[in-house]
Amino acid sequence: MRLHLITPENSSFQTLLTTIPLLQQDFDMLHLRLHYFSDQKLLSLVKELRNQSFPDSKLLLHDRPHLVAELGLSHVQIGFRSPRFEVVKKRYPFLKIGVSVHSLREMEQAKEADFFMLGHIYQTASKPNKQPLGEKEAEQIIETINQPVIAIGGIQPAHITPLHQIGFHGVAVMGGVLNMDKPVEALASYNRARRELNV
């Protein structure tokens, strides 16, 4: 079960730079979802992470395929702030493109995506007035899709086993690690749950 970390809304350059290198062995993909950073600031952050030996293979940028291409990275995530999937696919055919979706209909509109992020599965502070999909509906959606699907929204360590059983390829966590007082310990509890899957 893959574990993706997403930068929280209020992340600062300096906090990310001090926290991420402490955690980098223990997750699979870092989503830089920093829509309030300028291109220049985002480029500087990637440069600093690289200086600290953060691997390119674990770096994904949201919404900015032009920067992914400029940096020679491979993964971009497309959401409502992004250029449309078809446009990105045509212009950057060499990129791995993930698409953020909330329904089967949205998945079908991006049929050629390399992977999807489906949410929100559970209640989450980041979507206070919206009903979550829940496990049952999520299962019905992902069983019709061949690509890997990452679950997002309110994911706690205890959700890892049921989400794995439903068929999710991984989980994405935003607030539950990088916003915590003790991110190393918070991440460890997700990894314990991942290890338990193999018992």
Question: Could you list the residues that contact ligand 3NM (CB under 6 A)?
Answer: 6, 100, 102, 119-120, 124, 126-127, 152-155, 173-176
Helix (H) or strand (E) holding 88: helix 85-91
CB of 132 to ligand 3NM, least distance (A): 8
Q: Which two tokens stand for residue 159?
A: 């959700």
CB of 60 to ligand 3NM, least distance (A): 13
Dist CA 95 CA 76 (whole Å): 7
Nearer to ligand 3NM, 34 or 59 (CB): 34
Closest chain position to ligand 3NM (CB): 119
Q: Which residues sit opposite 150 in a β-bridge?
A: 117, 170
Beta strands in the chain (DSSP E): 2-6, 29-32, 59-62, 75-78, 96-101, 115-118, 149-152, 170-173
Nearer to ligand 3NM, 57 or 103 (CB): 103
CB of 71 to ligand 3NM, least distance (A): 22
3-class DSSP assignment, residue 13: helix
Torsional sign, CA 44, 49, 55, 59:
negative
Dist CA 91 CA 81 (whole Å): 17
Nearer to ligand 3NM, 102 or 194 (CB): 102
Nearer to ligand 3NM, 21 or 132 (CB): 132
CB of 52 to ligand 3NM, least distance (A): 24
Nearer to ligand 3NM, 125 or 199 (CB): 125
CB of 65 to ligand 3NM, least distance (A): 18
